[in-house]
Structure formats: C-alpha cells, structure tokens
Structure 1
Amino acid sequence: MSFQAESVIKKALRSKAERQMFEARYQRYAPDLLASIESVYGHQALRLMQELLPLMLDFYKERSEDLRQLDLERMLRPDWFQEENMLAYVCYTERFADDLQGIHQKLDYLSELGVTYLHLMPLLQPRPAPNDGGYAVQDYLQVREDLGTTEDMEQLATALRKRKISLCMDLVLNHVAQEHQWAEKARQGSERHKEYFHTYLDRTLPDQYERTLQEVFPDFAPGNFTWNETLNRWVWTTFNSWQWDLNWSNSEVFLEFVKIILYWANKGVDVFRLDAIAFIWKRMGTDCQNLPEVHDITQALRAVVRIVAPAVLFKAEAIVAPDKLIHYLGRGQHYGKVSDLAYHNSLMVQIWSSLASRNAFLLQKALQNFPEKPTSASWATYIRCHDDIGWAISDEDAAQAGLHGESHRRFLSDFYSGNFSGSHARGLVFQENKRTGDRRISGSLSSLNGLEIALEQGDLHLQHLSIERSLLAYALVLGYGGIPLLYMGDELALPNDYSFTENPEHAMDNRWVHRPRMDWNLAEKRHDPGTSYGQMFLGLKHLIETRKMLPQLHAAQPAWVLNSEIPAVLVLERPHPMGHMIQFYNFSEHHMQYPIHVLWERGYTQPLDHISGTHLDLHLGYIPLAPYSRLWVTNQG
C-alpha cells in the first residue's frame, strides 16, 4: 500500500479497528483492482485509483453495524453461498405479493419452502411501458414507485437477513432507458454525457458494426442502432430503441456504477445479478459479446465490493456458449476474481432436450464437455426463468451424440410449441429469426411438461407423468451442485397464463405467458396430495429437505458425469470425503433396469437412496428405475 493511500485512509478513519479492517481488505484487493483498470483504462488507472479510494472510504463509513457483522461472518465462511442448504426463489414482486410490504406477509411461505436467497425482479425505477419488463432503468437509485420506497426495500432486506435469506437485485449494466438523466442530459447538449453512450453522426460505423452483430429481438427491435432526432445522431441500442447502450470505455461510466452498487449494498442487497453483462464492451469485427474487457471490468467492480462490502456476491447473467460462459466465473488471470455465480444455461437446455427426446445421451456428452468451474464459485442451476428458452445446443455436442445440431434444435422448437406429433407440451414460439432459423420458446414448467393438456383431457395418468417430469427436472437442478433457482409458481405447477394478451403492455411479448400472478388460493391447498399442485409442492419440498442433509451437494464439489449404459438414463457421481454420492435420472416414461455393477465397482456395498429413503437390493442384479425416477444414492456403511 502506498504512503499516499495509507495517509488518505488514516485521515478518513479515526477508529483504529475500522482502519485496520479497511487496510487489510485494501491490501488484499487493491492489486486486483489496479490490474484490471490498467487493462481497460490504461494511463487513467492511477487517477482512477485516487478517485476510488475516498469513494470507497465514504461508503465503508456509512455501512451499518449489522452489515459489517455480516461482512465479517462471510469473510470467515467464504463458502456460505455454496452450502447444500442454499435455495433461491425467483419472482416478480408485484406478481408474488403486490409490493415490497406485501413480501413481508409471505416470508413464512418462503421459509416453509426452505428459501435462503430471494431474487426480486426487477426493482429499480423503469421508464413508462414499454420497458422490457422493467429492465429499461430510468433511475438506478430509486425503487419502482408501484413497489414502494427505498425505506421499504431496506426494511425488507433487514427482515430477510433475520431469517438468513439473502436479497438479490437486478443491475442492468449494458444500457439505460432513454429517459435516464444521463441520456436526457446528452440530448440537452452535455458533451460529457454524450460520452456515456455510443453515438454516430451517420451510418458509416454502425453499418460496419452491423456486419458481425446479432439481433436480440428481431421481431420487434431489428437492428442495433436507432436514429435520435433530438441528439441528431445514431445511438447504439442493442435491445430496444428506447434502451441506450452505455460506453464502458468511458471511465466515468465505471465510477457511476461503483456508486450505484455500493449504495444498494449499504441498503442490504446481498447479490447483484449483472444483467446483460456479456454485451457491455464493443469492438469492430466482433459480435460485441464476451470480450475480454468484460471480465476486466467485472474484476474491478468485484475488487471494490470486496474492500467495502465483502458480504456481497455477483451473479453473471450471461446466457452464452459453455466455452464463453466459464470466463464469467474466471479463467487465467481472472480465475476466482470475477462473478461468484453464473447461470448454467446449458444444463437447463439439455434437461428440456432430454425430456423431449426421452434420451439423456446428448445431456451426458454436453456435461462431460463442460469446462470445470473454480472451486470458489458456484453455478446457478435452473429449469425455468422469466426469459424464453433458447436452444443453445452446440453442433459439436450434437455430433458426438449422433445428432444433427440444426435439426435437433428445430425438433425442440416444434416439440415445445406443440407442433410435433405426440408432443405433450404447450408453449409459444418467441422471436423467430427467419434468417438464422432460430426459434425460442415461452411457456411455464407445467405446461411445457404436459400438465395443461392432461388437465384438459381429465387424464389422471398423464397428469401424474407431467408432475413426475417436473420433479425429475428439479431433482437434477437440486442435485447437480450449485444454488438451485426455484422460479415462482413452479412449486405449485402453475400453468400458462394467456391473459397477458389482454394487457397492452404485455401483449407483444409472449414471455408473459410464463409470468403468472401467484395464485394464493391455490397455495392454501398446497398440502393436498390429491391434487396436481399439492403433489408438485410436496414432492419438491421433500427434495429440498433431503438435499439439505447431504454434504455431497456442497457446490465446491465437482459433478462427475458417468457413461450411462442406458440412453434414457443420466448417471452422475459427486465425490466427497464423507463418501461419494451417485445419482440416477430416468428421462423416459418407461420402467428401466440399470445394471447393478455400477454400484459394486464403486464400493457402494450398502446403497441407500435418500429421496425414497429405501435401500437398494444388490442381489436383485439391477437398479429398478420407475418412469421419470430420480435417485440420490450414498453408501450407508
């Protein structure tokens, strides 16, 4: 630590204990901070460090006593978010409980499920509709007016903390609403704020960029640039014409986000979901996604947070190919220094693929090819989220499984939109790209797994199979290792909500079909095993409770994907010093008999399936697998 930095810290912090704590963190993380901003901002790095230090000290001094205590606890237990008791619940606040105060009344429900992490989407003040479901942020320092106030947010964070539930907030990094004050000032002629964005006098450079850029929303937002009459320039708008991409090569943008993150960290936010992070850096001749500077910037932001508020995590919202995704958890010089969490998009996609094909061989190959994550990081595993499902299946993985990539992706779109003969699914095609043939899918967990059609037909057997498919999917999400994300309504098998077409704000975006309002009347009957919603709730709750007793499911442990002897069955093993665990997942509606030697060879002499609570009979000669069954087996001896 330089004499100048030491002097600034000593002047700002009069308490010796406070000073020693800050200095220790600064000495640990300042090198990471300096290295990353030097990589991005070059000769400006020293100036930036000089600006950042007093900024960090100000927020450090403002941090409350209970948050400082949480910082200390998590510094001493850095794997807190990897533990087998972790469970995330993901919901829109207004669709779950109307507003932030309403969330307070539902905390018992979340605690009953075993929730330890609550992601409320999205919380910050957006532009008036259309606003991309709230992700076109107009003010980063204000809570949405319809949800409450900043004080409500802080009170909720405190209440959650008392229940050992962490609060996750969306932070959109790539763009702001055109009504944001930075964009307003740019249109008013502020040269400083024009530099916050990518703007162009004519189409020369935009046309050159467009040659290698993709379209995110080709149906209703084609292209990546929008002409603004007031500014009299073209503005980079990756997602929608009213979402202006930020210019992260301008160090002032970096400083703005440091202030935003630390502001909310001091209000009690535990996790920042870094939305659209893959897009924040632009370079001619590329698709402007996943560029190295993205990871330098993330490392710099994380270093700042580790110094001021080390209880806080970053989660990367990067829905990209596996070889790109792993960099968001750290590779090379960024190993273990960027995001703590990342979405395992490939696992999600492959689960849906296996359910449609009744074949887990592609899933097996894809997971075997998947890069290994840092032991200090964790996957966020999930089967559904608020977004559509894009068929991110590589041609290479498909070829290893004996499939043609494009044909298989087309099959999945047909199957889950109900346009394939024999399909049990009822989903909607989202954003079909005629040029690439890409078709994504919207739909709820239960409707995609056949419950909607089964209920219409009054077929109890089909209803049972639908629930079993959904429980199988969640068993793998819970058993793979990471923080499992439970998307609101899945626990009650809520179906598609077609009323979105009646709302002018939502009618053009069919992703709202799987964003229903919580049915609390239904939730009151969640303990009734004679109903589909009761079966789903009780079955899922049992899986969650079982998971919490199994140290093999700590996220630091790897998941070994074994070569399965039956195409419909996925076999995983999770090593652990207290004894390994082997898992079986039958992705078909048929009974299977898996060869018993897989247990003998691995020393499972007294195998116990923890989900069913039954011992496996080694003398039977095979492991019986019922339709869509899931087994978590350890050696009781």
Structure 2
Amino acid sequence: MDDPLFFEGISGQIKTLEAHRSADLRARVHRYLPDLLVGLQAVYPEAPQVAQRVAGVIGRNLAERPQDLQALDLERIHTPDWFQKPHMHGYIAYADRFAGNLRGVAERVPYLKELGIRYLHLMPLLLPREGENDGGYAVADYRRVRPDLGTMDDLQALCTKLRQEGISLCLDLVLNHVAREHPWAQAARQGDPRYRDYFYIYPDRTMPDAFERTLPEVFPDFAPGNFTWDDELGGWVWTTFNSWQWDVNWSNPEVFLEYLDLILWLANRGVEVFRLDAIAFTWKRLGTNCQNQPEVHALTQALRAAVRIGAPAVAFKAEAIVAPEDLIAYLGTGAHYGRVSELAYHNTLMVQIWSSLASRDTRLFTQALKRFPQKPPNAAWATYLRCHDDIGWAISDTDAAAVGLDGAAHRRFLSEFYKGDFPGSFARGMHFQENPATGDRRTSGSAASLAGLETALESGHPRLVNLAIERLLLAHAVFVGYGEGIPLIYMGDELGMLNDYDYVKEPAHKDDNRWLHRPRMDWAKAQKRHQEGTVEHRLFQGLKALLEARARTPQLHAAFPTRPLWQPNPHLLVLGRPHPEGTLVQVYNFSEQDQALPWETLRAEGIVQPYDQLTQAPAPAYLMPYARLWLTQHRL
C-alpha cells in the first residue's frame, strides 16, 4: 500500500480537511506508514487489507478529534521529547482512594501541582466486572467508567482540567484479556462465530495440555493453570490470570482493529498516555512460556505507528515486568529500535534500591546497572520505588555471582528481611504468592513501612525515626535522579503513609494482601505537610525539593544515559551522567554511618570542586547516613 491510497482511506472519513491539516496528515502518513506496514506484515498474511481498514479507523476517529487535542498533537510533533524533559514528574493513585471519584481528583489538582506533578496515572477506572475483578484489570466495558467514579464525561472533563494545568493523564488499557462479561465474551458465549475467534477456545484438553507443559502460573495460589472450562462456550478458554479474565486472540486482525479504535476513542476523550497492561502475554506460541514473543513488538510498533498518525500527542507505556534482556525490546531493538513504546518500567532499578537498603551494599546494584541494556535515545524509563503491585525479587543469578553472592540465597534474604523476619530488619511487610516448589516469595508493603518508618514510630526513638525518613528520601532521590525517564511517586509515599492492615475487613480485598500498600489517602495527614517538624513535612518538602532540583538540572533529560561508576566503597552508589553542559555525578550513601566523598572517582569524571545541586552549596567532605549528592563542577 502506498501513501496516497492510505491517505485517501483516512481523509475520506473527514468532511472538511483544510489545506494545512491535509499537509500535516500527509506528512504523518509518509513518516509512519512504513512502520505500520512492517509491523502488520510480521503478523498478518493479509497485511495490506488490514492496513486499509486501519486507515478507516484512523479517519473516523480523526474526524471527531477535538480542536484543542489537535493543537496538542501539533505541539507534541514539534516537541517529541516532551515526556523526557527533567520537569516530567509522575504520580500514581487509585481515583477512589485518592479523592473519592473523578470530580474529587479534579478538586485535588492543586495538591499535585504543589508537589510538582506533570503526569498522573490513575489506576484502572474503566468498568470492570462485578465481584472479583483483579483490582479493575478484568474490564467489562472499555467505553464506560466505573459508576462510583463518575461517567465518561467526568473523565473527559478531568483530562481537560489536567491538560490546562500541564498534567498528562495516563490510563490503563488491558491488552491481553477482557472480563468474561465483556460484550465480546458475551457474544462468544452465545455462539457468535466472529467473536469466538476473538479468544482461544479448545474443545478438549489436547491443546491446553500441550501449552501447559511450558507455561508458568501467574497466580498459583488462587488461579492455578492457564485454561478454564466454560459450559456456555462448550470449550476450554485461555485464562492466564483468572478464570474470569479471557485472553484475547491477537492473531486475529479484528482484535488489532478493535484495540486501535479503543485507543483513538479514549485519546479523543483526552487520555495522553496508555499503560499497555499485560502486554508481554499477548502472543501465544506452543513450546514457549508465551511471553515476550517477537510478534508482541511487531504489533506494538503497528499500533504506535497508527496512533502517531491519528493522535500524535499520545504515548505508550509498556507494563512489562520481565528480565532486562527481554525488557529492552519493549522500547525497541533491531528493526523495531525506537519504534515500539515510548516508556517502560525500570523494574531492576526498583529492586536494586530495596536490595541495597537491606544489605547496605551497592556492589550488586552497580553490577546490575552495568549489565542493563541501553535504551533508545527517543524512549524513557518509568522509574519508581513502589507501585500498586507486589515486589518480585528479580535478582539475576549472573549479577549475584559476579559480586560473590548466591542469587537464590539473596532473594530469600530480601523476602525475609522485608517481611521483618530477618534479625535486625527495620521493615514491616508480608509475603505474597509464596511458592514452596520454587522458593519464590514476593513482598507486599508500603514504602514507608518497608523502609522502617512503621517500626521507628512504634519505638518512639527519634534517631530511628530520623534514619527511616532519611532512608526514604535517599530511595526517592535515586529513582528521581536516575535521569533516564519519568519518576513515578506512589500515592501517600510523599507523606510516609504506612501499611493499611484494615484491608482484611473488606471482603473483596481480604485474600489479596497487596491491598496492604493501597491505603486510602489520609488528607488529615496531608495537612501536616505544612507543619514544620512533622514526619509529613520532612518527607513532602524533602521530595518536593528533589523534584524542583530535578526540574532545573538539564543533565537529567531522559535522552542522556546514566553510567554506574565502580569505586572501592561498597556503601556508596555512584552514578555518572555525561552531558554537554557538564557531567553530573550522583553519590548516595546506603548506610547508617558517615562515608568519605569518593574524590578519586569525582576527579576522574572532571569534577575537582564539586557543587551539590540538591543543596545548591559546595559538597561536604563526608556523607552523612543516607546522604544524597548531585554533583557538578560548578553551579548550574
């Protein structure tokens, strides 16, 4: 298919296309049609016909795209690094737990702006199935909002308000599965052959058993196996996560077209970033674990190219919590380099922060970052300390062995430490999905409780409270200052909110201890952020100062790489960021003892009179416990 034919397929859906819009659209088609075709051809034999239908989907949605969003499209075309800039700071929250509903979120925008937030990820808010719904990830209707949160009109109004305040909304879009109650699944259960082809349905256990030989279990405790018998279907349906979450069949181009239409429709409501949930699972291949297959990246490239033509203001964030060697492909490698998602989660950074806090040793951290693949310069990582999910202790055996550790033993140590069972642990957490067969034990707990604040407050000892606060600020400084992406702050961490043990009182939550670290926002606690001397004031103002420093530091633009620097002190993490305006070297003390500044390492990076960009003062000769320094040769 050539540019003119594809352009006509789009423009034919638009009643009035002014000359400047026509020229802009032609340029977008010319730029992204090759990416679209390459992606489609890698998956669908009938790619040219699918591409022509893609043009129709783009045209229908582009005809309805509001003028203010068209203006944002133009702005983003001319500012393609908008999500990479140092002032992009993110916040993650459940709308109901943060502010009751979507209108409540709109009323709390001043709070977000006070902290310095430019990106808001609201956890699943599209209509889920009734009853168990995997925290909202079992979607029954992508075009409706949960009634308790509001309406689609409320979501559009919130997007408009956020955009006016310079904040981009990120929304979850589950790609791998829908709820059993979704209209596609309902039609399949009623025998509609078109919609039965939207799913993987088998008449007997022959194929499910063949796949199961190499498939892991995501939730072995409460959802063993990957297939579920459904009486209405008269067959076994693929259900990776839960019996009521049906995996969709992306080998059917109808599924691709449906999701493209959903993305563009939601983008027209004002959503700017889509978190592509469970993306790693979307392609199935017999004899594999059915994760991270090459077709996943080809499909994402095709989706991204189509959306770049129809809604260029939109960015994709891949929710792929996988090994580093698999993760980098979600930002693009080989033929897909820089052509897949704009963002992906840097899970390794998060795990290594917690690992070094427990061990007071950064050698494994440095080794893991040394081996971590370099991302494309037009992409970015989402960096974080905590999220809504559990922590899986993804410690590489290779990295562990390189610094003299046993990987399995270190993973056991971390799970015991952060449950609070290891002697001398400061943490309070819980095991999640413990697997006796593999020894895998993930961890639930709020950042503050895992970092020792809960234990310290119970002790009433001022020194322990101070250490816990400094530990939290150090941990935030590392992922905020990492510099290769958007730092994401989980709701309440800026106030030191602790574990919520009352989650067991809610029937829908009592069997899932991840709700331990999903508390409701305590707005009375938030008021204390303005009261000097309180824990809330120290954490909120400390984090706000970090974000302000990040925003004024050009070296933290995400296009530039971070280099871990080896140096002899195992308590220090040292990161270098070369930049045309001068190298930035970050030094972090992961211990409760003073440590000497690594002068030799600084001199090797060209810094002989270090100036700290955090305190905006010359660097001290020693780092206090859990100190953090962002050093340059001169004041910026």
State the AA in 1 paired with 2:610: P
SS in 2 for 1:50: helix
Corresponding residue number in structure 2 for 1:635: 633
Correspondence 1:104-143 to 2 at 5 A: 104-143=106-145
Question: Matched residues in 2 for 1:415 and 1:9: separation?
Answer: 57
1:436 deviates by 1.0
Counterparts of 1:573 and 1:163, CA distance in 2: 33
Return 5+ residue gaps in structure 1 as ranges: 618-622
Gapped regions of structure 2 (runs ≥ 5): none
Instruction: Report the AA paired with residue 490 of structure 2.
Output: Y
2:319 aligns to what? 317
* Residue in structure 2 matched with residue 626 of structure 1 by the alignment: 624
- The Cα shift of 1:7 comes to 4.2
In the alignment, the residues of structure 2 paired with residue 235 and residue 511 of structure 1 have an alpha-carbon distance, to the nearest angstrom, of 27
Which residue number in structure 2 is paired with residue 598 of structure 1? 601
1:424-445 Cα shifts (integer Å, max 9, x gaps): 1000100011221100000000
1:181 aligns with 2:195: no
Contact 1:529–1:538 (8 Å) recurs in 2 = no
Deviation per residue, 1:274-295 (Å, 9 max, x gap): 0000000000110000000000
In the TM superposition, residue 71 of structure 1 has moved relative to its aligned partner by: 0.6
CA distance in 2 between partners of 1:251 and 1:58 (Å):
18
CA distance in 2 between counterparts of 1:470 and 1:365 reads 23
Among 598, 614, 617, the alignment partner of 1:614 is 617
Partner of 2:294: 292
Q: 1:230 to 1:465 in 2, by over 3 A?
A: same
The corresponding residue for 1:435 is 437
Give the fraction of aligned pairs with identical amino acids, expressed as a percent: 58
- Give me the whole-angstrom Cα distance separating, in 1, the residues matched to 2:369 and 2:190: 51
Could you give the per-residue CA deviations for residues 598-617 of structure 1, whole angstroms, max 9, x where no partner exists?
Answer: 22333223311111222136
| In structure 1, distance between residues paired with 2:116 and 2:132 | 35
TM-score by length of 1: 0.98
1:504 maps to: 507
Deviations 1:557-589 (A, max 9, x none): 110110021001110011110111101011111
1:411 CA drift (Å): 0.5
SS of the residue 2:143 aligns to: strand
Alignment of 1:384-399 (within 5 A): 384-399=386-401
What residue is the counterpart of 1:74 in the other structure? 76
Match of 1:351 in 2: 353
Matched residue type, 1:23: R
SS at 2:528 equivalent: coil
1:83-232 alignment to 2 at 5 Å? Answer: 83-232=85-234
**For this pair of structures, how many residues does the alignment match?**
631
Question: Does the CA contact (< 8 Å) of 2:7 and 2:55 recur in 1?
Answer: no
Contact 1:446 1:490 in 2 (8 A): yes
How far off its partner does 1:27 sit?
1.2
TM-score normalized by the length of structure 2: 0.98
Deviations 1:457-480 (A, max 9, x none): 111111111111111110001111
Match for 2:544: what amino acid?
Answer: K
Which secondary structure does the structure 1 equivalent of 2:489 belong to? strand
Deviation at 1:207, TM superposition (A): 1.1
Kept in 1: contact 2:567–2:601 (CA 8 A): no
SS in 2 for 1:432: strand
CA RMSD of superposed structures (Å): 1.1
Counterpart residue type for residue 29 of structure 2: Y
What residue in structure 2 maps to residue 27 of structure 1?
30
**2:535 is aligned with what amino acid?**
S
- Cα-to-partner distance string for 1:229-248 (whole Å, 9 max, x where unaligned): 11121111110111001111
Distance 2:150 2:9 in 1: 38
What's the CA shift for 1:213?
A: 0.7
CA contact (8 A) 1:92 1:120 kept: yes
Find 2:549's aligned residue among 537, 542, 546: 546
Residue 276 (str. 1) matches residue 274 (str. 2): no
Q: Which runs of 4+ in 1 moved over 6 A?
A: none
Instruction: Report Cα offsets for 1:359-381 as digits up to 9, x if no partner.
Output: 00000000000000000000000
- Cross-structure match for 2:249: 247
- SS of alignment partner, residue 573 of structure 1: strand
* Alpha carbons 1:88, 1:119 under 8 Å: kept: yes
Deviations 1:205-236 (A, max 9, x none): 11111111111111111111111111121111
SS in structure 2 of the partner of residue 632 of structure 1: strand
Equivalent residue, structure 1, for 2:521? 518
Q: What one-letter code is carried by the residue in structure 1 that aligns with 2:269?
A: K
Conserved 8 A contact 1:566-1:594: no
Q: Secondary structure at the match of 1:486?
A: strand
Deviation at 1:508, TM superposition (A): 0.5
Question: Does structure 1 conserve the Cα–Cα contact (< 8 Å) formed by 2:94 and 2:123?
Answer: yes
Counterpart secondary structure, 1:525? helix
Report if the CA contact (8 A) 2:567-2:598 is conserved: no
SS across alignment from 1:381: strand
Alignment partner of 1:576: what SS?
A: coil
Distance in 1, matches of 2:513 and 2:12, equals 56
Distance 1:445 1:616 in 2: 28
Taking the aligned partners of 1:177 and 1:123, their CA distance within structure 2 comes to: 14
Query: Does the alignment pair 1:258 with 2:256?
Result: no
Matched-pair contact (CA < 8 Å) for 1:92–1:121: yes
**1:616 & 1:496 partners in 2: Cα distance?**
36
Amino acid at match of 1:390: G
- Tell me, in whole angstroms, the C-alpha distance in 2 between the residues paired with 1:295 and 1:486: 28
The aligned amino acid for 2:572 is: V
Q: Secondary structure at the match of 1:541?
A: helix
Report the counterpart of residue 620 of structure 1 in structure 2: none
Instruction: Indicate if the aligned counterparts of 2:40 and 2:298 stay in contact, CA closer than 8 A.
Output: yes
| Pick aligned residue for 2:588 from 573, 585, 588 | 585
Are residue 532 (structure 1) and residue 532 (structure 2) matched? Answer: no
- Residue 4 and residue 530 in structure 1: after superposition, are their counterparts in 2 closer, same or farther (change >3 A)? closer
Q: Name the SS of the counterpart of 1:386 in structure 2.
A: coil
Match of 1:565 among 564, 568, 582: 568
For residue 61 of structure 1, report the CA deviation from its aligned partner: 1.5
